[in-house]
Amino acid sequence: MSHNNRRYSRELVDGPTKAPGRSMLRAVGFTDDDFKKPQIGIASTWATVTPCNMHIDKLAEAARVAADEAGGKALVFNTITISDGIANGYEGMKCSLVSREVIADSIETVAGCEALDGLVAIGGCDKNMPGCMIALSRLNRPSVFVYGGTIRPGKNRTDIISVFEAVGQYARGGMRLEELEDVERHAIPGPGSCGGMYTANTMASEIEAMGMSLPGSSAQDAISLQKLEDCRKASAAVVQLLNQDIKPSDIMTREAFENAITVVIALGGSTNAVLHLLAMANAMGVELRIDDFSKIGKRVPMLADLRPSGRYMMSELVEIGGILPLMKRLLDQGLLHGDCLTVTGKTLRENLADVEDYPADQDIICDFDQPIKADSHLRILRGNLAPEGSVAKITGKEGNRFTGSAKVYHSEPESYQAILDGEVVAGDVVVIRYEGPKGGPGMQEMLSPTSAIMGRGLGNDVALITDGRFSGGSHGFVVGHVAPEAAEGGPIALIENGDRITIDAVADEITVHVDDAELARRKANWTPPEPRYKRGALAKFAKLVGSASDGAVTDDFQY
């Protein structure tokens, strides 16, 4: 544990020369006494652009009041958010991963400039959660992350993925327009993050497993007394962490990242966990590599029957106790590091000591002797098509191997239209390229094409590979994060229509059956594409971003 209890705010408010700053702060409510207290930043991702975050202003207010009551002085500030659920399938989706970096930079900027001593960061959507965590890692000041909470199910247990898949069903004539509209109107009943084990719930679970949110934070409904209480306790915990001088670097250790990966696998979490955990580890200076997911994945089974590949929703897991009983089971099996410190000031083992097991009649979390899959569903595939790696989510329901013929598209919209038009048929491997971190730019998600494949009933007969990435809601035989990406001249750029491709999720290989000489000939004739954006946020991101296999970060990659 570090012993450098620096009070940043004192440098901003102590002494006669700081009178102007104090004067400003008096206007926002500071009293004489408040200048002696640690300043707690409440980083809110509130916005009405998406249901995931529309309630976070109320959570931030609960955290603000509690921080003051606990002996700190709270300052609330906002950062941005975007919604993948809304932007998917639109050119603007390229800004999604960019927003992770903007959010991280913005929280770091405010906390750095305003000399905040500790932070509560509240996130409720895919990118703002890793964005918050990257900022907390860089700042390394006593902090707690709070999850905004999951949405309740829509009518007939629908959610946002139901709507995406209904579009595909409608396109193949399996659903009338009025039925599609009915799903659209009733799938999203109010505030909260998308309701399956998609990216937001995956991120919340891994952050809790890592010890950076309070026990239970990841499995609470967005609109619930438990969530408000979680916010209040988070602020009190930050004040306690300040007193004990416990910083994120004391919590986010290599072992803590291993715990996070273990819980993501057991829950059947999103492929985005790979990207974001690599980025968070890089921000914290923890050496974590993409192949660590394979090493841990060999010993950890997938146990949760949760959407997108399974039956249940996050709110149904909440009803039986959330992820704490699962973590206790994993700890008892020797699959978690129990000595890791957490934001409670206690170890993970101590936090789990009094946790009760699930009710006997539940079937959401399987027993170890009857897993959904005996090892990880997240597969890191390498081979002549992805020498730097790629990420697949294979639960086994779609099989473990696929060989088919390439059908190549140079963008997500091009592929989506082709799938809706019936151009893609059984036996195809859809290749969507020039959608990587630099090429897209922004590595956009392929939820529309994967949902269209499902909606057209081709989930078991078509595979999809891309240098872009997937929504946590995507399922089927899909491989993303193919690196090096096409825009960098990676082998995915050299595939031609009709090339045979094999995806082997047992041997963890991805192969294009074209010999080296022919690939070299194609490479000699390949020219890099013109950047799609020459100015602005996307152009800046494209200039700075690194490989997906390193987390697609815009900071220097440290290892």
Question: By the criterion CB under 6 A, which residues form the site for ligand FES?
Answer: 50, 52, 83-85, 125-126, 193-194, 200
**Dihedral sign of CA atoms 382, 518, 468, 402 in order:** negative
**Dihedral sign of CA atoms 47, 231, 132, 68 in order:** positive
Give CA–CA dist 214/146, Å, rounded.
8
Catalytic residue among 193, 309, 451, 471: 471
Least gap, CB of 326 to ligand FES (angstroms): 21
Cβ closest to ligand FES, residue 118 vs residue 130: 130
Cβ closest to ligand FES, residue 125 vs residue 503: 125
Least gap, CB of 227 to ligand FES (angstroms): 15
Q: Is 249 a catalytic site residue?
A: no
Tokens describing residue 277: 């955990």
DSSP secondary structure string, 166-211? HHHHHHTTSS-HHHHHHHHHHS--SSSB-SSSSHHHHHHHHHHHHT
Tokens describing residue 499: 């090339």
Residue 80 CB-density burial (10 A; 0-12 exposed, 13-18 middle, 19+ buried) = middle
Least gap, CB of 470 to ligand FES (angstroms): 13
Least gap, CB of 456 to ligand FES (angstroms): 23
Give CA–CA dist 81/135, Å, rounded.
14
Least gap, CB of 414 to ligand FES (angstroms): 24
Write the single-letter amino acid at 37.
Answer: K
Cβ closest to ligand FES, residue 151 vs residue 453: 151
Cβ closest to ligand FES, residue 160 vs residue 209: 160
Least gap, CB of 127 to ligand FES (angstroms): 9
Cβ closest to ligand FES, residue 383 vs residue 472: 472
Map tokens 């946790």 to a residue. 355
Give CA–CA dist 149/314, Å, rounded.
10
Cβ closest to ligand FES, residue 262 vs residue 272: 272
Write the single-letter amino acid at 387.
Answer: P
Give CA–CA dist 438/239, Å, rounded.
41
Please check whether residue 529 is in contact with residue 537, taking contact to mean a CB–CB distance below 8 angstroms.
Answer: no
Catalytic positions? 471
